[in-house]
Structure 1
Amino acid sequence: MITTAVGLHESVPLSPPFPDTNTRTSGPLGDRRGAYWYWSSEDGRYTGQVIADVYPGGVVRSYYSQLKLRVAMSAHAFVYGDFSLGMSHLRWDDAGLYTCRLYDGAEHAISSSVRLVTVRVTSSRPNPILKGQRVTLTCGVSRRDDLSSVTWTHRDVPLQLTHTRISMTADSQSLTLKSFRQRDSGPWSCHVTLRGSSLSIATHTFNFADERPPLKSNEVEFSQQQPLLVAQPCTMGNEVTISTSRSGTLLFWAGLAVGMAVALSIIGTWSYCHWKRRQDEQGLMVSDPGPSTTGHVQNGEPPEQQSRPGHATPGLTKQDQLLASDTQNDDSYCSI
């Protein structure tokens, strides 16, 4: 069994090794010999997938899209008897049972298997971590059945649970920092030991930030302490997304309602004053007896009273009287 951290380069050896094959490199059946690697995933989704093979002529091939270009065998495998499988950039789901079968040309196969267990450390928050934030590290092991022990180190120093800021689960696979500080930055390593296997280490490095970095123009800030409502994007040149809190949204709608009420009040007042003016114009036209031909008393009224609104003024046409009435009505009714 081999235990390794995710993301590393790993050479998967055969255990136990095959017998010496140098004496078999010649013969009439040499072209029928070959070594094949099969893979069965840890979760059982894939069984017996051929991932690589090699032949005495030095031809090496790799198969299966998930592992293709990440696995390799030596082209001189049949010369030196080394059929190891090299793997690069290991992933979490590369875990499983790897089996090598060597065919000697007489339809006899020699098999050897090795199990690959992957280990990784994940963080509940991305870097950088702000002062006072709560963050949890989790040590994941692809095969828990053979798990023997899990220990943690910070900057290569064994972790001592003497601080109330740090807590750990019973199985030691999860570590929580309740209030992150600058001295908590740096590498945190998970040391995993499986039964019958050597120690494997996976590491996660924290970066500390004194303050929150400024948001980019197209980013939205979310708070985990209170729900947020995100408004529609507002574009002006570059696209900018604006976020607003629930209280800010209520204030927006309240202000909008007040503004609409004021606008309706202004429109109503303006409509009323113009309606009143039209009513006065119609009354003037009904009461107008027409222009007088003399400058004497008309209808028993002295001349100084004939210039009032609603009465005819000697020497003025009806249009002149309406214009004068409009001017007076504008001053009386439409001063908003």
Structure 2
Amino acid sequence: MISFGLVVHGPSSPLVAPLGSSVVLPCYVNELLLMEGLEVEWRRTDSNTLVHLYQDGQSRPESQQEDYHDRAHFFTDQIQRGNFSLRLDNLRAEDEGRYTCRVYSQRDSGETVVEIKDAVSGSSRSISASEGEDITLNCSVDSHIMLDEVSWKKTDEGEVILVLLYQNNKTLSDSAHERYRDRVEFFTAEIPKGNFSLRLKSVRTEDKGVYVCQVFAGGLSDSVTVVLERLGES
């Protein structure tokens, strides 16, 4: 939050949203402003590209950079209440980054910066293993995100099996399906760094399949997939 006399509020942490979804970039003030002379502009912080503009009592989609046509929208009925948030639809990989919301009133101005980032990363590939060995399925989360839940699930063969769950800042080992009980664990010391990789011990033939690490944060979610493809003899 940056103030030049007008206090403009935004989120306290980066926004997490999956590709193709809609995400709301919060920007608001706690005081009623005169509509006359009010101007609000959203820009990419890195390139100064104009994402959307509110001016002279209405939104100005014709001023938007082409990439944001029909994708970036104000909540126009909320602007008179001090809500200048922006809805960005059909989220793309190139939308990741920082956005500045600048508000100009007759007397003061202020701004806040909102960041969209891809919160989850991992191998997203096929791996192979030998029966009886221990393997690691990779999944990392941005450590600045306030997490609600992280789950590992096996999702192939027409069924979904819960492999391990992290919820309310705790690893719930008892949540594991009996097939994985006492064979799966997080790297506990790495969790504060955002590392939610899964250690799977004593790999068996029936472990072969698709594993999904899904992260929930602030009502949004993202995931990474790892396929345990081949099992050879140890």
TM-score (norm 2): 0.56
Match of 1:34 in 2: 39
**In 1: Cα distance, 2:59 partner to 2:220 partner:** 34
Change in CA separation of 1:163 and 1:93 when aligned onto 2, cut-off 3 Å: farther
Q: Do the aligned residues in 2 keep the contact of 1:152 with 1:188 (CA within 8 Å)? A: yes
Q: Provide the C-alpha distance between the structure 2 equivalents of 1:75 and 1:147, rounded to a whole number of angstroms.
A: 29
| Deviation for aligned residue 1:206 | 6.1
CA distance in 2, matches of 1:202, 1:95: 14
User: What is the aligned partner in structure 1 of residue 103 from structure 2?
Assistant: 102
Residue 168 of structure 1: CA displacement?
A: 4.9
| Letter paired with 2:101 | C
Q: Mapping of 1:71-86 within 5 angstroms? A: 71-86=72-87
In structure 2, relative to structure 1, the CA distance for the partners of 1:163 and 1:35 (3 Å cut) is same
Give, as a single letter, the amino acid of the residue that structure 1 aligns with 2:90: H
Letter paired with 2:95: D
TM-score, scaled relative to structure 1: 0.42
Alignment of 1:92-241 (within 5 A): 92-105=93-106, 108-125=108-125, 136-141=137-142, 144=143, 146=144, 152-155=150-153, 157-158=164-165, 160=173, 162-163=182-183, 168=187, 171-172=190-191, 173=195, 174-175=197-198, 179=203, 181-182=206-207, 185=210, 187-190=212-215, 201-204=221-224
Q: 1:123 to 1:12 in 2, by over 3 A?
A: same
Q: Distance in 2 between matches of 1:162 and 1:89?
A: 41
Pairing 1:10–2:29 present: no
Are the structure 2 counterparts of residues 75 and 101 from structure 1 closer, same or farther at C-alpha, using a change threshold of 3 Å?
same
- Contact 2:44 2:50 (8 Å CA) reproduced: yes
Equivalents in 2 of 1:118, 1:167: separation in Å? Answer: 21
Change (3 A) 1:20 1:189: same
Q: Is the 8 A contact 2:32 2:80 kept in 1?
A: no
Q: What is the CA-CA distance between 1:4 and the residue it aligns to?
A: 1.1
Cα deviation 1:227-269 (Å, max 9, x = unaligned):
xxxxxxxxxxxxxxxxxxxxxxxxxxxxxxxxxxxxxxxxxxx
Give the Cα separation in 1 of the matches to 2:54 and 2:140.
36
Would you say the 8 A contact 2:183–2:200 is kept in 1?
no
1:122–1:139 Cα contact (<8 Å) kept: yes
Match of 1:256 in 2: none
| Alignment gaps of 5+ in structure 2 | 1-12, 154-161, 166-170, 174-180
* Distance change >3 Å, CA 148–CA 87, structure 1 → 2: closer
Computing the radius of gyration over CA atoms, which structure comes out larger, 1 or 2? Answer: 1
CA deviation digits over 1:51-92, x for unaligned, max 9? 111124423326345555432213445444321111223345
1:116 to partner: Cα distance: 3.5
CA distance in 2, matches of 1:124, 1:3: 22
TM superposition shift of 1:205 = 5.2
Larger strand proportion of the pair: 2
| 1:35 counterpart letter in structure 2 | V
Q: 1:124 to 1:98 in 2, by over 3 A?
A: closer
> Measured at CA, do residues 97 and 116 of structure 1 come closer, stay the same or move farther in structure 2, by a change above 3 Å?
same
Q: What is the alpha-carbon root mean square deviation over aligned residues? A: 4.3
- Quick check: 1:37–1:52 contact (8 Å CA) kept in 2? yes
2:152 maps to amino acid: H
Taking the aligned partners of 1:84 and 1:55, their CA distance within structure 2 comes to 15
Q: Which amino acid aligns with 1:189?
A: Q
Q: Is the 8 A contact 2:187 2:198 kept in 1?
A: yes
The match for 2:51 is 51
Distance 1:148 1:84 in 2: 21
User: How many aligned positions are there?
Assistant: 186
- Alignment partner of 2:32 out of 6, 12, 20: 20
Q: Provide the rounded CA distance (Å) in 2 between the counterparts of 1:74 and 1:37.
A: 13
2: distance between equivalents of 1:152 and 1:67?
Answer: 32
